[in-house]
A and B are shown apart, each in its own frame.
Chain A
Amino acid sequence: MLYREAGQFKTSYAADQAIFPLAQDRIGMAIILAVAFIAIPAVANEYWLQTIMIPFLILSLAALGLNVLTGYAGQLSLGTGGFMAVGAFAAYKFATAFPEMNIIVVFLISGLISAAVGIVFGVPSLRIKGFYLAVATLAAQFFLLWLLVKYPWFYNYDPSGVISAPPIDIFGFAIDTAVSKYMLTLIIVSVLALATKNLVRSHIGRGWMAIRDMDIAAEIIGFRPLTTKLSAFAVSSFLVGVAGAMYAFLYLGSVEAAAFDITTSFNILFMVIVGGLGSVLGSFIGAAFILTLPIFLDNFPRMLGFEISVETVTHLQFMIFGALIIFFLIVEPHGLARLWTITKEKLRAWPFPY
């Protein structure tokens, strides 16, 4: 009975409408934030921050973006990498054209540009659904990358095609250490995750879910399919675009189309499926899972004394991903986040199962 709502009576709809109506959830969230904002920067070394925490947060944001579109609005997309690339190149163009511009503003503008591109590619979703839409987004993925490589204007005519992201500073603070990059990433991702959580609980999010669950009924109660779907494309591409810009500037340190290829799109889709379709928390869990699985597979057998080759690890990784995705798609489309909710429900009843 550690986890229950007994005694926590809500006296107003405002209280019931809070993001975490239960005290235990609020405490849990406070602990996570304290760890993320205080403990991790204090104890983690540069390697951990730069190769694990920063990409984890950024890819969680990308997964969250895809989750808005696929999990909440029910529109499958295989073009996530393409939209990350749009965000990354937009940030590069803006940061080089206006070196004085605050980097957060640059990221937000990149997100808006990605959102605009997302709206354009979202238009076909009004006519086509499911498999055909997925193929259309796949076409977007290839088209966008092709475009960004084809026209040298996008990379300022740099002959190598791989350009380093310009150094960044905020209000005079140089963002050049792993800790400062981590903190900047953490702040942006936290704010956007909170905003997304609010959005999916609002009438806008309910419209997305209504279109997802039964588009005809949604239309009959007054949701316009056009604005509802395109708003999902816009918000999704915005988040993905910001993630792309951050991925280039705060993680890779360079801007290159190859970093956002189809594999990236699939990886982010796997994160959403494993973490949980239609769950903000799930996007983070999924990203953590997909990122740590290879590291785990690398080290765990060795710890047990098995010597396995790098190739075997890669094969194992593919097999486990494949099996997990099939499992989650068939058995639990709401992913690990749903398993967590079930655990909470059980804990709520514990020790009495009924």
Chain B
Amino acid sequence: MREFNETLLSVENISLSFGAVKALTNISFEIKKGEVLAIIGPNGAGKTSMLNVINGFYHPQEGVITFRGEKRRQMKPYDAARQGIARTFQNVALFKGMSTLDNIMTGRNLKMKSNILSAAFYLGPAKREEIEHRAVVEEIIDFLEIQAIRKTPVGRLPYGLQKRVELGRALAAEPDLLLLDEPMAGMNLEEKQDMSRFILDVNDQFGTTIALIEHDMGVVMDISDRVVVLDYGRKLADGTPDEVKNNQEVIEAYLGVGH
């Protein structure tokens, strides 16, 4: 059992609605620095909405988010990225016309500074910068074991590999907080095992804090330090995998009507 004390991000009393649909109601929880937190819940529970609120894509009507001690209600996705929050999407959101390498290179854009003129003439600094970041990206490619598809346009890759490339793009930003929306959806057992291993390695080797949404309870129990359960936009439970597994309300939500 790993112990985490420092809070990296906390959400307090977050409420978000779309017209009459209440996607999130009064949600509060914390993400501790260095942990792997799983957010689970039935379809439509508000899991994706929660991630969207955290990285500034949705703006909640109520509540406060505190990231690294700084309080805010909302921010632009661009600013979230700059402050060290990266994510992947439930439906792969890669740049289809670009190669694996270029997709992952885009993840480093915030660290690349060369201006239009020096980039156009590929002058010393621009060239050095490009090569320097290429080296980092190659490390990520090695880490994710996708060397063979380096130059392949991502649109041609099978779904499982696309998910892996998307993880690579998020990692390229060297985030402090990594949000993963169903990173293993649609994968077979072997691919799930690979992905679980990558997630744990990222957490272990780079100390990246991870919040992930996952439906496969086996995976959740295996890789997460803590679990937050959502249902109909409310928080049902929050605790270690064992606590959550034995929580009566959670069992009912999962076995109850319609699920």
Instruction: Report which A residues bind B (CB closer than 8 A).
Output: 12-14, 17, 195-196, 198-199, 202-204, 206-207, 209-210, 212-214, 216-224, 231, 235, 278
Out of B97, B119, B134, B173, name the residue touching A221 (CB < 8 Å): B173
Residues of B with C-beta under 8 A to A223: 78, 106, 109
Cβ–Cβ contact A204 & B95, under 8 A: no
Binds A, one of B36-44, B123-131, B200-208, B239-247: B123-131
**CB closest chain-B residue, reference A231:** B116
> Which residues of A sit under 8 angstroms from B170, Cβ to Cβ?
221
18 contacts between A and B (CB under 8 A): A13-B135, A13-B138, A17-B131, A198-B121, A202-B119, A202-B126, A203-B130, A207-B106, A209-B102, A213-B98, A214-B93, A214-B95, A218-B95, A219-B77, A220-B57, A222-B82, A222-B109, A231-B116
B81 in the interface, Cβ–Cβ < 8 Å?
A: yes
Distance in angstroms from A193 CB to nearest chain B CB is 11
CA distance A310 to B105 in the complex (A): 53
Question: Using Cβ atoms and an 8 Å threshold, which residues of chain B touch A206?
Answer: 98, 102, 105-106, 109
Q: Which residues of A contact B120 (CB under 8 A)?
A: 195-196, 198-199, 202
Chain B residues whose C-beta falls within 8 Å of the C-beta of A202 in the assembled complex = 114, 119-120, 122, 126, 130
Describe A's contact surface by its main secondary structure: helix
Of chain A, the residue at the smallest CB distance from B175 is A221
| Residue interface bits B68-97, CB-to-A below 8 A is 1, else 0 | 000000001110111000110100011111
Which B residues lie within 8 Å of A235 (CB)?
116
B183 interfacial contact with A, CB 8 Å: no
Across the two chains, which residue of chain A brings its CB closest to B119?
A202
**Contacts A210-B106, A217-B94: A222 and B173 contacting too (C-beta < 8 A)?**
yes
Interface string of B26-56 (1 = CB under 8 A from A): 0000000000000000000000000000010
Cβ–Cβ < 8 Å partners of A195 in chain B: 120-121
Residue pair A199, B93 in contact (C-beta under 8 Å): no
Do B114 and A217 have beta carbons less than 8 Å apart? no
- How far, in angstroms, from A214 to B95 measured CA to CA in the complex? 6
Q: Which of A203, A231, A278 contacts B112 (CB 8 A)?
A: A203
Nearest chain A residue, comparing its CB with the CB of B116: A204
Given contacts A204-B119, A212-B97, A213-B98, contact A220 B138 (CB under 8 A): no
- B110 interface residue (CB < 8 Å to A): yes
User: In the complex, A195 Cα to B81 Cα: how many Å?
Assistant: 30
